Amino acid sequence: MSDLTNTLNLTLYGCPLHYIKAREALSEMDLEQEIILEINSGDAVDEVIASLRSDGQLCEVISEQTLTSIIKVVKKS
């Protein structure tokens, strides 16, 4: 497992592609590895967090700005 935390910019994608791209990135990661997701603020944040949590991942918003939000995800399953 790498000690580096990758960042994935999902601001160019809409529903459901932002979740699909996040899920694809997580499928290539080891358990307990972290990834930072940049997502458009608003409903997209809630949608991605809800979907990833239903997949068993640990998610938290670490920054909210006007246009983008940053979510930290820890792979748990």
Q: In this structure, are residues 66 and 41 in contact, taking their beta carbons and an 8 Å threshold?
A: yes
Q: Residues 15-39: pLDDT tens digits?
A: 899 999 999 999 999 999 999 999 9
Domain membership of residue 21 (yes or no) is: yes
What pLDDT does residue 1 have? 42
Q: Is the per-residue pLDDT at 4 higher than 80?
A: no
Domain membership of residue 1 (yes or no) is: no
Domain membership of residue 10 (yes or no) is: yes
Domain membership of residue 39 (yes or no) is: yes
Greatest Cα pair distance, the chain, in angstroms, is 34
User: Looking at the 3D structure of the chain, how many domains does it have?
Assistant: 1
CATH of the domain at 66: 3.30.110.40
Bridge partners, 8 (sequence order): 37
| Residue span of the structural domain in which 67 resides | 6-74
Output the DSSP codes for 18-35: HHHHHHHHHHTSPTT-EE
What pLDDT does residue 3 have? 56
